Amino acid sequence: MPLQLLKYNAGIVKDTTEYSAGKNGPFYVDSDLVRFVNGYAEKIGGWEKDRFFFLNPAGSAISTEGYLTGIGRKMLSWRGVDGVDRIVVGTHNHLYIIQNNAIYDITPLRKTTSNLSNPLVTTSGSKIVTVTDSNHGADTSDWVVINSAAATGGVTADTLNNLNGFQITRIDANSYTIEVPSAATGNATGGGTTIDIKYLIGVSGGLGTQSSSPALGWGVGGWGEAGWNMPRSLALSQVNLENSSWTLNLWGEDVIATVRGGRIFYWDTSGLITTRASLVSAISGSASVPAKVRTTVVSFPDRHFIAAGSSAYNASDGSSGVFDPMLVRWSTQEDFTKFAPTALNTAGDQRLEVGTKIITMVNTREETIISTDEAVYGMTFVGDPFIFSFRLLGTGVGAIGLNSMIAIDGTTYWMGNRSFYSYDGIVQEIQCPVKHFIFERMATRFFDKVIVGHNVEFNEVTWWYASATNTDANPENDSYVTYNYNEKAWSIGSMSRSAWHDAFGERDKPFAFSPEGFLYNQETGTSDDGAAMNAFIETSPREITAEGENLYMVDRIVPDVKMGANSNLSVYMNTRKYPNSTEITKGPFAITSTTEKVSTRVKGRQIALKFESTGTTDEWQLGDLRIDTKIAGMR
């Protein structure tokens, strides 16, 4: 027979049988670290660690490589009027600025205790230091930063005054313990007579929860599933509380940072880089700033600061009142500090009706899109007397989490509870042939960790999620699903990312944080920060004849692959006599940039191909493969 062209449609199909994916496409059926460009599969770019550095107690950068404390949940990058590029990133227990390759802790403070006298107690051979501070108000897992401490019990002053701070274990209302890197060499009580202790906002302020916990109280699970007056088991609970996260907005070149379920804070770029974020409600002239908020955004182009899921306005005294998870409030135009409505300003509020709580909110070109757990609304600036109008855009299409929705060039994309959606004037479900695969393997207890990111160079929207195969006690995102909105093609794979930002400013490639707290420049190089990238893509099985009656022998592959000079690609040929019979794998057969043909002897009614690379220098794009076949009879 003459050479047979094997051409495949772009995209991964997982929600049908592999045989039907071949008959109705043919499509690809599995992949990792592969995307589609101009209809063809190619290995994605690698990533390299972007190193930044910690500070010494004096506030100067040192040579110790830095990382985030806590899991990075949200990131924002911008360039100030001074020309400096900055990143603000919120973790589940901290808020940071990364500037000029140094990391600065700007986490707001709950309180500061000054001039404590010898509050530290060390025990010889132990890393545990006991701290006494009457009515400290801290909870276990909160963080403290100690200043002006003297060496105590062999623990150096620089160790005690570490700007990274210490996580505490509460003993009682007046004392707690911290753990230092190296053990004390003596029993001692000391630290000096002018110690200051800064208490970062923590559990009481909505921070400190890495993973959502299942709700176990009344109303969780079906009637009679547990004994009388007994809490529900983890297995019975289908209601999850939420982890700690942030919403980050820019007001000009300054940052407004909101703790989900907590308060709103402000960081001024024009101040000292070491200055911590502070309460918006503490700014002079502020009025009725909500005391509890789920998410925020700055509307465009009218510049109202919008708080969704908010404490209500208390008309009796102008303060912030009872929290309502379905209430939208907005400040007066051009002033994010004034939420109290008057006859002379544009502040106001509106309660949404469909759902139980507001999940997330993003800006598009003409309106603000708000998702509750049950519906999606459009919020549009209309001016006096109503200021904003609200339209119900769709029900049963709510976003799955705080960071699962993104607006790109007038279109909004989001992951829902069981599907993917877009809005460009009409809410539509995106046809997704891997939908069931993704939602069935997602760790549903940790869906709130889903993040979405954009890669404008390749027209991709990607969602990262924690898979059910992740056995960690607190699993973080380890898998992804990508939608190429130009080619309408989906791809899947494994990659650990907890916060993502597209190319910006001096960064011409996307950048992202791993759950370990390291920053990576994506689409850079061909390796996993020097380690191998195991990339592969597998086709659906297909037959040479339309009816699939005859067996055939494949004795030659003519590859069509665009490859780098230092790349190596392996191809496996998987054959079956019948769709449900045992698959036989032949290979690997090596392909390089100079390979003209590959000799094989593979027999079957249907054939599937798997292309795989496992090195650090591989870069390749598939074209249109051809095979040489001979009819080999009926059996």
Question: What CATH number should be reported for the domain holding residue 165?
Answer: 2.40.30.20
CB-based contact 34:533 (threshold 8 Å): no
Residues near 301 by beta carbon (within 8 Å), at least 6 away in sequence: none
CB-based contact 320:331 (threshold 8 Å): no
256 in any annotated domain: no
Whether the pLDDT of residue 236 is over 50: the answer is no
| Residue 184, φ and ψ in degrees, nearest 5 | -65, 155
Question: What CATH number should be reported for the domain holding residue 26?
Answer: 2.60.120
Mean pLDDT computed over every residue of the chain: 92
Question: Which strands sit side by side in the sheet containing 128-132, from one edge to the other?
Answer: 169-172, 175-179, 128-132, 120-122, 188-190
Residues across the chain: 635
Whether the pLDDT of residue 550 is over 80: the answer is no
Summarised one tens digit per residue, pLDDT across range 125-180 is 999 999 999 999 999 999 999 999 999 999 999 999 999 999 999 999 999 999 99
Same domain? 26 vs 61: no
Average pLDDT of the residues in 438-462:
96
437 in any annotated domain: no
Whether the pLDDT of residue 511 is over 60: the answer is yes
429 in any annotated domain: no
Same domain? 625 vs 541: yes
Same domain? 543 vs 574: yes
End position of a domain, from candidates 86, 103, 120: 103
The answer to which of 126-130, 203-207, 544-548 has the lowest mean pLDDT is: 544-548
Reduced to 3 states (helix: H, G, I; strand: E, B; else coil), residue 500 is strand
Average pLDDT of the residues in 75-94:
95
Average pLDDT of the residues in 8-21:
92
Q: What is the pTM of this model?
A: 0.93
pLDDT of residue 238: 44
Give the residues across from 370 on adjacent strands: 361, 377
> Which residue type is seen at 615?
G
CB-based contact 450:467 (threshold 8 Å): no
Same domain? 129 vs 196: yes
pLDDT tier, 427 (very low <50, low <70, confident <90, very high otherwise)? very high
Average pLDDT of the residues in 534-551:
80
567 in any annotated domain: yes
Average pLDDT of the residues in 485-514:
96
Same domain? 571 vs 627: yes
| Residue 150, φ and ψ in degrees, nearest 5 | -90, 160
Domain that residue 130 falls in: 109-200
End position of a domain, from candidates 81, 103, 125: 103
- For residue 517, CA distances in Å to 93, 372, 508, 565 come to 12, 30, 21, 34
End position of a domain, from candidates 103, 119, 137: 103
Summarised one tens digit per residue, pLDDT across range 303-324 is 999 999 999 999 887 788 899 9
What is the token pair recorded at 441? 């393997």
* Beta strands, E only, 450-583: 451-455, 460-465, 479-484, 489-494, 499-501, 511-513, 519-522, 535-539, 542-543, 552-558, 561-563, 569-576
What is the number of domains present in the chain? 3
pLDDT tier, 633 (very low <50, low <70, confident <90, very high otherwise)? low
CB-based contact 15:437 (threshold 8 Å): yes
Same domain? 542 vs 616: yes
CA distance 389 to 395: 18
Reduced to 3 states (helix: H, G, I; strand: E, B; else coil), residue 125 is coil
Same domain? 627 vs 538: yes
Same domain? 39 vs 53: no
269 in any annotated domain: no
Same domain? 167 vs 139: yes
Percentage of the chain lying above the pLDDT 90 cut: 81
